[in-house]
């Protein structure tokens, strides 16, 4: 029997069914049942006691995302204005830390931020008082910004670098200065890249748990930590953990939907 084009999609469909669809079905099943297998909404009502964790998770993720925009956008813009050789070099430097293990990168920040770490030793050397950063929300934010910043820089850069150079020339011929060119041309046309970067930073930031455990020292609990405790901790309750995971997944999907719709609107507005 001759193979048809749709037959080549079978491995992908099987993979998605086993490792994406099936786990989601299991999460939904656990979320709406109790240990006796009875249908219940108690798992969702019991989440009220974790409102502080939800608020903290989204708040820290928003702060980290805003900082990534503030740092990543200027870097992406400057990078796009350089020559091809400089761009390749800078992109390699941006991606270089990502070639190392995520845990190793986070452990490195532990050695920098801890009370007797590199940062405080440098401050002591110049006669300044030490900083108490480790095991605080600030340390968690630093870890998230460091680990997720490339996911903001690269999408923004990829959009800005594709802007037709003739548009710059046309704007300058019409009397626009550099500030006006950026404000009325570059920034509006780069918004799809910004929105893509926001999604790529916010989603892993709101669900992280390794960074909070290493840099937060268990003192800054976020949704990822809370879900892990329900499956691996002493308070083993996979039904509650599945309910929390399901609610977080719905919120994240809704956020991504809004970002994608807004991004589509910007692309249509500028004919991209």
Sorting pLDDT into bands at 50, 70 and 90, what band is 163?
Answer: confident
Give the list of residues 6+ apart from residue 117 with CB closer than 8 angstroms, or none.
Answer: 110, 111, 134
User: With bands split at pLDDT 50, 70 and 90, how would you rate the model's confidence at 77?
Assistant: very high
CA-CA distance, 209 to 228, in Å (whole number)? Answer: 8
Q: Is pLDDT of 67 > 90?
A: yes
Residue 183 has pLDDT above 90, yes or no: no
pLDDT for residue 31 = 95
pLDDT reported for residue 53: 94
Kindly list the structural domains of the chain, giving each domain's residue range(s) and its CATH number in brackets, ordered by start: 42-269 (1.10.3720.10)
Mean pLDDT of 237-250: 93
Which has the minimum average pLDDT: 57-66, 100-109, 175-184?
A: 175-184
Query: DSSP per residue over the chain, as a string?
Result: -PPPGGGGGHHHHHHHIIIIIHHHHHHHHHHTB-TTS-B-SHHHHGGGGGHHHHHHHHHHHHHHHHHHHHHHHHHHHHHHHS-HHHHHHHHHHHHGGGGS-HHHHHHHHHHHHSTTSHHHHHHHHTTPPP---TTSHHHHHHHHHHHHTHHHHHHHHHHHTTS-HHHHHHHHHTT--HHHHIIIIIHHHHHHHHHHHHHHHHHHHHT--HHHHHHSTTSS--HHHHHHHHHHSSS--HHHHHHHHHHHHHHHHHHHHHHHHHHHHHHHHTT-
- Residue 58's pLDDT band, with cuts at 50, 70 and 90, is very high
Q: In this model, does residue 172 exceed pLDDT 60?
A: yes
The pLDDT of residue 253 is above 60: yes
pLDDT at res. 268? 57
pLDDT of residue 57 exceeding 60, the answer is yes
Average pLDDT rounded to a whole number, residues 103-132: 91
| Separation of CA 183 from chain center | 26
Residue closest to 60 by CA, chosen among 114, 113, 138: 138
Residue 198 pLDDT greater than 90, yes or no: yes
**Is residue 271 pLDDT above 70, yes or no?**
no
What DSSP string describes 41-55?
SHHHHGGGGGHHHHH
Please determine, for residue 269, whether its predicted confidence score (pLDDT) is greater than 70: no
- CA–centroid distance for 138 within its chain: 17
The pLDDT of residue 175 is: 80
Q: Band of the pLDDT at 2, cuts 50, 70, 90? A: low
Which CA distances in Å does 193 have to 13, 77, 103, 198, 200? Answer: 29, 12, 28, 9, 10
Alpha carbons 223 and 217: distance in angstroms, whole number: 15
Residue labelled with tokens 């605080």: 136
24-33 pLDDT, tens digit per residue, is: 999 999 999 9
pLDDT at residue number 270: 52
Rounded to two decimals, what is the model's pTM?
Answer: 0.87
Q: Looking at per-residue confidence, does 262 or 43 come out higher?
A: 43
pLDDT of residue 11: 87
């Amino acid at each position: 029997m001759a193979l048809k084009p749709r037959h080549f999609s079978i491995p992908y469909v099987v993979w998605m069914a086993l490792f994406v669809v099936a786990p989601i079905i299991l999460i939904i099943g656990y979320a709406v049942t109790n240990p006796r297998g009875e249908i219940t909404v108690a798992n969702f009502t019991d989440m009220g006691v974790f409102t502080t964790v939800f608020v903290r998770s989204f708040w820290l993720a928003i702060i980290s995302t805003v900082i990534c925009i503030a740092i990543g956008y200027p870097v992406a813009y400057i990078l796009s204005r350089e020559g091809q050789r400089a761009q390749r070099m800078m992109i390699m430097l941006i991606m270089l830390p990502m070639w190392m293990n995520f845990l190793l990168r986070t452990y490195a920040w532990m050695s920098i931020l801890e009370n007797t770490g590199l940062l405080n030793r440098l401050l002591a050397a110049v006669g300044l008082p030490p900083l108490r950063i480790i095991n605080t929300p600030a340390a968690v934010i630093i870890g998230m910004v460091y680990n997720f910043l490339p996911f903001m820089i690269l999408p923004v850069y990829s959009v800005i670098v594709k802007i037709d150079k003739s548009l710059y020339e046309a704007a300058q011929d019409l009397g626009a200065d550099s500030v006006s060119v950026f404000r009325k041309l570059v920034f509006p046309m780069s918004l799809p890249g910004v929105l893509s970067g926001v999604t790529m930073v916010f989603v892993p930031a709101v669900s992280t748990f390794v960074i909070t455990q290493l840099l937060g020292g268990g003192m800054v609990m976020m949704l990822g930590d809370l879900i892990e405790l329900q499956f691996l901790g002493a308070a083993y309750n996979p039904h509650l953990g599945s309910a929390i995971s399901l609610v977080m997944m719905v919120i994240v999907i809704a956020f991504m939907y809004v970002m994608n719709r807004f991004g589509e609107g910007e692309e249509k507005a500028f004919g991209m």
